[in-house]
Structure 1
Amino acid sequence: MRRESVLFTLALLWAACQQPAPPPAETPAAPEISRAVAVLHPTEGNQVEGVVHFTRTAEGIRIEATVSGLTPGRHGFHIHEWGDCSAPDATSAGGHFNPTDQPHGAPDSPARHVGDLGNLEAGEDGMASYSRVDTVVAFSGPRSIIGRAVIVHAAEDDLTSQPTGNAGGRLACGVIGIAAPATE
């Protein structure tokens, strides 16, 4: 009887192992990102602040910024590699975002850092606006800007000096996050 019980138990175990595993639960696809935003906060000793909106279009990513508290003139404007604005001078954001290992350049240069956005130009009132459609930045993949930082610099980016355009210190920093889809 004992032998029959052991054989019966082994047969049940063998049969249970032969059952196909249930199909894996379907993971819903992540929604496609259509918008992102970065709120710029001043670094220590500065009053520069603003907001940068990123919107997917058929032509690329539209980047629109409004920044206040600047001295009149041009100021380097870049996406940096880390979404970390915790250091008083925002050096925690790292260097320009450059996943393709390109030289620094102008926003329309065929070879440039993904993060090279050129310059903001502030008027006498310290306000600057920026708007362009960029075909290099992305919301996904290796050129994704999500979770990176936007930096406004103290000086003009000369668009040629390596590795960063000689744009000076960091006046403001903001982390790029996913924004709610536009409602129509």
Structure 2
Amino acid sequence: MIRALPLLGVSLLVAACGGSTPPPPESPEPAAKEPAAKEPEPEAEPEAAKEPAPAPIEVTMEAKSGSKLAGKATLEETADGVKVTLSVSGISPGPHGAHVHEKGDCSSPDGKSAGDHFNPGGHKHGMPHGSERHLGDLGNIEIAANGEGKLEITIAGANLKPGDKSSFLDRAIIVHEKKDDGGQPVGNAGGRIGCGVIKR
């Protein structure tokens, strides 16, 4: 037992001189995370294409009831209705009634094949901007001393769409021998001296 003491002392001395336990190795720092890529923003959907307005229609006017009328009309659909531009020559000076009639037929010599005024709403006859009127009431075209005249008017509520109940398509423009005075039932405008079919 006595001999063991020096060995114990040596062991304690070695332990004392051995120094502290080395620190554990440092862990490597984690690599910096790259920022996540942004997802592309969804593209805006294109606006729905608006339905284009129908192309303007050119109408050739034919002389009726033995007149010498000549001319043409242009009808163009706008946001406000149908713009009608009517130009004629070869008739007597003064106002002459003009209307859109229900049938696109100018085959008869007196123009009566075009039927009655175009009146889908079943209203009484009137002037174009009156509170009550036929949709086909265009008013009067004023003819100068040289026999020529022009009428420009936009008819609200009308269109040029095929098959629509308010469409001027496949109907006829009639010019009358006298003034449309707004009276009943159709304006007292007399015979039909010009007719043109509204067609594509």
Bigger RCO (CA 8 Å, 6+ sep): 1
Alpha-carbon distance between aligned partners in 1 of 2:136 and 2:199, rounded to the nearest angstrom: 15
Q: Which residue of 2 aligns with 1:103?
A: 124
Alpha-carbon distance between aligned partners in 2 of 1:110 and 1:44, rounded to the nearest angstrom: 32
Read off the aligned partner of 1:133 and give its amino acid letter: T
Read off the aligned partner of 2:185 and give its amino acid letter: P
The normalised TM-score by structure 2 is 0.71
1:70 aligns with 2:91: yes
Q: Which residue of 2 aligns with 1:176?
A: 198
Tell me if structure 1 keeps the 8 A contact 2:53–2:78.
no
Tell me if structure 1 keeps the 8 A contact 2:103–2:171.
yes
The normalised TM-score by structure 1 is 0.76
Mapping 1:27-38, distance limit 5 Å? 32-38=53-59
Q: Which residue of 2 aligns with 1:80?
A: 101
Alpha-carbon distance between aligned partners in 1 of 2:115 and 2:53, rounded to the nearest angstrom: 27
1:49 aligns with 2:70: yes
Alpha-carbon distance between aligned partners in 2 of 1:112 and 1:44, rounded to the nearest angstrom: 26
**Could you tell me how far 1:136 is from its partner in structure 2?**
2.7
Alpha-carbon distance between aligned partners in 2 of 1:50 and 1:38, rounded to the nearest angstrom: 9
Read off the aligned partner of 2:142 and give its amino acid letter: E
Unaligned runs of 5+ in 1: 1-29, 179-184
Q: Which residue of 2 aligns with 1:8?
A: none
**3-state DSSP class of the match of 1:171?**
strand
Tell me if structure 1 keeps the 8 A contact 2:71–2:87.
yes
Q: Which residue of 1 aligns with 2:174?
A: 151
Tell me if structure 1 keeps the 8 A contact 2:138–2:153.
no
Q: Which residue of 2 aligns with 1:113?
A: 134
Q: Which residue of 1 aligns with 2:9?
A: none
Alpha-carbon distance between aligned partners in 1 of 2:137 and 2:124, rounded to the nearest angstrom: 10
Q: Which residue of 1 aligns with 2:10?
A: none
Larger Rg: 2
When the two structures are aligned, how many residues end up with a matched partner? Answer: 148
State the Cα RMSD in Å.
1.5
Tell me if structure 1 keeps the 8 A contact 2:65–2:191.
no
**3-state DSSP class of the match of 2:76?**
strand
Deviation string, structure 1 residues 20-66 (Cα, Å, up to 9, x no partner): xxxxxxxxxx9752312221000141111111101122322211111
**Could you tell me how far 1:162 is from its partner in structure 2?**
1.3
Alpha-carbon distance between aligned partners in 1 of 2:155 and 2:167, rounded to the nearest angstrom: 13
Unaligned runs of 5+ in 2: 1-50
Read off the aligned partner of 1:95 and give its amino acid letter: D
Alpha-carbon distance between aligned partners in 1 of 2:52 and 2:110, rounded to the nearest angstrom: 35
